[in-house]
Structure 1
Amino acid sequence: MSTTPTLGQALLRRKPVATLIAESDGSRTDGGQLRRSIGLWQLSAIGIGATVGTGIFFVLSAAVPEAGPAVVVSFLLAAVTAGLTALCYAELASAIPVSGSSYSYAYATLGEATAFGVGVCLLLEYGVSASAIAVSWGQYLNKFFELAFGFRVPDWLAAPPGHGGYVNLPAVVLVALVVLLLVRGVSESARVNAAMVGIKIVVLVLFVAVGLTGYHSGNLHDFMPFGWSGVGVAASSIFFSFIGLDAVSTAGEEVRNPRRNLPLAIVISLVVVTLLYVAVALAAVGAQPWGRFDGQEAGLAQILQDLTGQTWPALVFALGAIVSIFSVTLVVVYGQTRILYSMGRDGLLPARFAAVSPRTGTPVWNTLVVGAGVALLAAVVPLDVLTDLTSMGTLVAFSVVSIGVMVLRRTNPALERGFKVPGYPVTPLLSVAFCAYLIKGLHALTFAFFGVAMLIAAAGYFGYGIRHSRLTRTPAEQPVPAVRG
């Protein structure tokens, strides 16, 4: 017989870590089990793939006008914040190696209501960011068509709304291709993504090598034209470029040897991404006066063309960007589906979100729904609105992870951890402080949109989740945790 908790008990009830792990280890009997098929390199490629390209291929045109050449410092500030949080993610991922990322961590540490709110933040982080990334695909596609074949897709059909376009058709095509690949299977998607990550790293190294040949120190003056406030605003806007660190943890139930590979992949992703971002940003602002970045389309490819006076470097770079942005969209859509899968399994969303195809081992219906939503946003919503919403969702989710580390240390100190945050408790406290600083730098309209999202989250939780949560069941109705040595 089910029990009816009080409102306070329902809001604060936590899902036991043992239950989370047991579900990921094969205790489900409803055919809803994900398959462990991802190794360390593929997992690291998920993190790098979700990050490199999300920002660096197009965010400079928006961030440089806010910070000037000091955008390099903005990337470093965002990287420090991401690094502090990455260490917290590494500990929780090694202790709770399940799908769902910070949603699952919040459910185990801060309670059900907070977890549902984090789930909505992750919807902003993944679903909205996938739309933002897809929007920019058309810019580089047009650059490639223009250089290779001498024609362009008309702006009204390929540019973002608010930038001369009405419907962004290339973005819809991109999302459709990603959904088809994800539906086929996660191991196939991981292999394709790993290959694309290799291509994007080579392309960015090419940009740095060519860009440095045109480096002029005079382009770095005035280095900080808008002061530290400009650096902070730019760092807030580009922080969504680091969501790949979170994407690693969404694969917790599909990774071999997760206690070792999850924290390793997070750290590897952070190091590779930071080095690439800072090098590309420095080469770009050194090769071109910062005033020319404002509104520049396919900016990095244009810099190469201007420096060399030839089309082939820009053509290669544009092709690399097309591949790279495909890779990023693939990973963030994948991450979104795994978060909704976890919420469906917990009963906070309809069970169909947790339904897995016995043939492919993937949540097909879930993936189709996410793809439709991402394509719609990418087709009709302006890019700047999408990027700031992504940053807000990411920063809130990152803060929750850092708090979760401290809570779990107190509530479950004996829990097996494959990695522990160095400098505890200073590191997670600094992570929360840096996240709060970057949140403060976001635009007022972003806070308004975020408030609307939280109201929708409250309506969803009180209208459905609180009544259908699997934690309302008695212990006899709960899955039995596996015995762990």
Structure 2
Amino acid sequence: MDQPTPLLRSLSLLEISFYGIGTIVGAGIYVLLGKVVSESGMMAPWAFLLAAVVVCFSAASYAELSRRFPHSAGEPVYIVESLRSRHLGALVGYALVLGAIISAATITRGFTGYMGVFSHLPDWSMMTTLIIILTAIALWGVKQSVTIAILTTVLELAGLLLIIVISGDDIKQRGIDWSSLIPEFSTTEFTAITSGAFLAFFAFIGFEDMVHMAEEVKNPQTNLPLGIAIAVTVTTLLYATIAIVALQTVPLESLASSPAPMVLLVERNSDLPLQLMGAIGVVAMVNGILLQIIMVSRVLYGMAKRQLAPALLSSVCTATRTPIPATLLAGSLVLAFAIWLPVTTLARATSCLILLVFTFVNLSLLSLHYRERQRGPLQLGLPATGTLLCIGFLVIQIWSWS
């Protein structure tokens, strides 16, 4: 009997780190800065930092579980192996897929805002063309797709650094009003920060996608945990800095209402052509969507290999070594959701789903440590804290909606 064609193990630590950074940045700051500011006002940097704290505990759980179980399905495998429930593993896997699809759809909607600098075509037309092209790239091969992602990630980071540099003169002249950034810890500000953090949490979604490349990463037991740590650290520092720069150089109302906040920052703080930042924003969107399509296809592929999804989705093309049916399904669903729902609704729905997934991942590690009698403060404390933070974060946000 012929052995099924495996995925190609070709990604280094540098490549998987850039994969993670690209997914996180493409899914976040270029789309949601204005939305977070509209929720949190001058407390937006704290919203990003609070979201980062929640993410870090879960990232630690992901790092350890990816070392123990380097499989492309990721979370479903962690749950099956630790909580011993195939049904729960499948349920969480499909929730993860849905969350990632909504995430990519959110970025696709943001893409049209930045493309407005260049084109006045209908949104649905731009989105359809984009998803067809990106799905084709994802089908081409993982090495080629990730190489493109690395190049676009470098451009994304250059765009963010450019904003910091061009805003420097204005900040030097006026200085940073630190008093406006210090919270008074009132109920109103607490609600504003947590509400903004819930949206900002979406800006960190992407690091968990890295574990789904486990079967395509060299030495995954070492490179995946390191890559996760690098990606989360870099993006946290960038987000906090950009939020402070934006709030100190652009009127709050303008920033909160802008569909393309990075273009607005360039317009306010420099004489550079708006098309420059618009182009970088477009690249950021494209990168984030591409990486999410790849991630969804790998989850479906990994689940199918373990009989948690239809067997057809485990088919791999012998020429490209990519899962063709899973990739086509991922691209189709992203397009459908992008056309259907608005950005804020998409971001909130994604955050809810991913928080639930993170909760089960933390519980999986907690259960594993307890069963293996690794019951020290760190072994139990980190995943337990991650679990409580995710649950609390979700409850607070649901309460704020009521």
What interval of TM-score do these two structures reach, taking the shorter chain for normalisation?
over 0.9
* 8 Å CA contact retained: 1:344, 1:354: yes
Report the CA distance between 1:134 and its aligned residue.
0.8
Report the CA distance between 1:422 and its aligned residue.
8.5
Q: Letter of the aligned partner of 1:299 in structure 2?
A: P
* Alignment RMSD: 2.3
Residue matched to 1:411: 371
Give, in whole Å, the separation in 1 of the partners of 2:137 and 2:400.
Answer: 35
Q: 2:338 aligns with which of 358, 372, 378?
A: 378
* 8 Å CA contact retained: 2:86, 2:308: no
Residue matched to 1:187: 143
Residue matched to 1:342: 302
SS of 1:386's equivalent?
helix
Identify which of structures 1 and 2 has the higher relative contact order when contacts are C-alpha pairs closer than 8 Å and 6+ apart: 2
CA displacement, residues 188-216 of structure 1 (integer Å, 9 cap, x when unaligned): 11111111111111111111111233335
CA displacement, residues 290-314 of structure 1 (integer Å, 9 cap, x when unaligned): 2222321211211211222x242x3
Give, in whole Å, the separation in 1 of the partners of 2:232 and 2:314.
Answer: 30
After superposition, the Cα gap between the structure-2 partners of 1:50 and 1:220, relative to the gap in structure 1 and judged at 3 Å, is farther
Runs of 5+ in structure 1 lacking a partner? 1-27, 146-151, 159-167, 415-419, 448-485
* 8 Å CA contact retained: 2:369, 2:379: no
Residue matched to 1:50: 23
Q: Letter of the aligned partner of 2:160 in structure 1?
A: L
Give, in whole Å, the separation in 2 of the partners of 1:332 and 1:113.
Answer: 24
After superposition, the Cα gap between the structure-2 partners of 1:322 and 1:428, relative to the gap in structure 1 and judged at 3 Å, is same
Q: 1:137 aligns with which of 111, 120, 128?
A: 111
> Does 2:388 align with 1:433?
yes
Please identify the structure whose Cα radius of gyration is greater: 1
Q: 1:299 aligns with which of 261, 269, 276?
A: 261
Q: Letter of the aligned partner of 1:438 in structure 2?
A: F
Q: Letter of the aligned partner of 1:359 in structure 2?
A: A
Larger % of helix: which?
Answer: 2
Residue matched to 1:207: 163
Residue matched to 1:423: 378
Give, in whole Å, the separation in 2 of the partners of 1:206 and 1:169.
Answer: 31
After superposition, the Cα gap between the structure-2 partners of 1:335 and 1:444, relative to the gap in structure 1 and judged at 3 Å, is farther
Give, in whole Å, the separation in 1 of the partners of 2:62 and 2:376.
Answer: 9
CA displacement, residues 176-198 of structure 1 (integer Å, 9 cap, x when unaligned): 11111110111111111111111
CA displacement, residues 32-73 of structure 1 (integer Å, 9 cap, x when unaligned): 421211111110011101101211012122111111111100
Give, in whole Å, the separation in 1 of the partners of 2:197 and 2:99.
Answer: 16
* 8 Å CA contact retained: 1:233, 1:438: no
After superposition, the Cα gap between the structure-2 partners of 1:290 and 1:68, relative to the gap in structure 1 and judged at 3 Å, is same
Give, in whole Å, the separation in 1 of the partners of 2:376 and 2:17.
Answer: 19
Runs of 5+ in structure 2 lacking a partner? none
> Does 2:292 align with 1:332?
yes
Report the CA distance between 1:124 and its aligned residue.
2.6
> What percent of counterpart residues are identical?
26
Give, in whole Å, the separation in 2 of the partners of 1:440 and 1:211.
Answer: 37
SS of 1:426's equivalent?
helix
Report the CA distance between 1:439 and its aligned residue.
0.9
Written as runs of structure 1 = structure 2, the 5 A alignment for 1:168-183 is 168-183=124-139
Report the CA distance between 1:269 and its aligned residue.
0.5
> Does 2:215 align with 1:253?
yes
Q: 1:235 aligns with which of 179, 197, 212?
A: 197
Written as runs of structure 1 = structure 2, the 5 A alignment for 1:259-298 is 259-298=221-260
After superposition, the Cα gap between the structure-2 partners of 1:47 and 1:126, relative to the gap in structure 1 and judged at 3 Å, is same
Q: 1:87 aligns with which of 46, 51, 60?
A: 60
Report the CA distance between 1:443 and its aligned residue.
4.7
* 8 Å CA contact retained: 2:369, 2:380: no
Q: Letter of the aligned partner of 2:277 in structure 1?
A: F
SS of 1:325's equivalent?
helix
CA displacement, residues 415-460 of structure 1 (integer Å, 9 cap, x when unaligned): xxxxx9992221111111211222124357999xxxxxxxxxxxxx
* 8 Å CA contact retained: 1:212, 1:286: no
Q: TM-score, normalised by structure 1?
A: 0.77
Report the CA distance between 1:218 and its aligned residue.
5.3
> Does 2:328 align with 1:368?
yes
Give, in whole Å, the separation in 1 of the partners of 2:307 and 2:400.
Answer: 33
Q: Letter of the aligned partner of 1:133 in structure 2?
A: I
* 8 Å CA contact retained: 2:194, 2:397: no
* 8 Å CA contact retained: 1:250, 1:339: yes
Q: Paired residues, what number?
A: 395
Residue matched to 1:33: 6
CA displacement, residues 285-338 of structure 1 (integer Å, 9 cap, x when unaligned): 111122222321211211211222x242x3322211111111111111111111
SS of 2:309's equivalent?
coil
Give, in whole Å, the separation in 2 of the partners of 1:218 and 1:275.
Answer: 19
Q: TM-score, normalised by structure 2?
A: 0.92
Q: Letter of the aligned partner of 1:60 in structure 2?
A: L
After superposition, the Cα gap between the structure-2 partners of 1:198 and 1:54, relative to the gap in structure 1 and judged at 3 Å, is same
> Does 2:153 align with 1:153?
no
* 8 Å CA contact retained: 2:167, 2:269: yes
Report the CA distance between 1:350 and its aligned residue.
1.3
After superposition, the Cα gap between the structure-2 partners of 1:214 and 1:34, relative to the gap in structure 1 and judged at 3 Å, is same
After superposition, the Cα gap between the structure-2 partners of 1:421 and 1:236, relative to the gap in structure 1 and judged at 3 Å, is farther
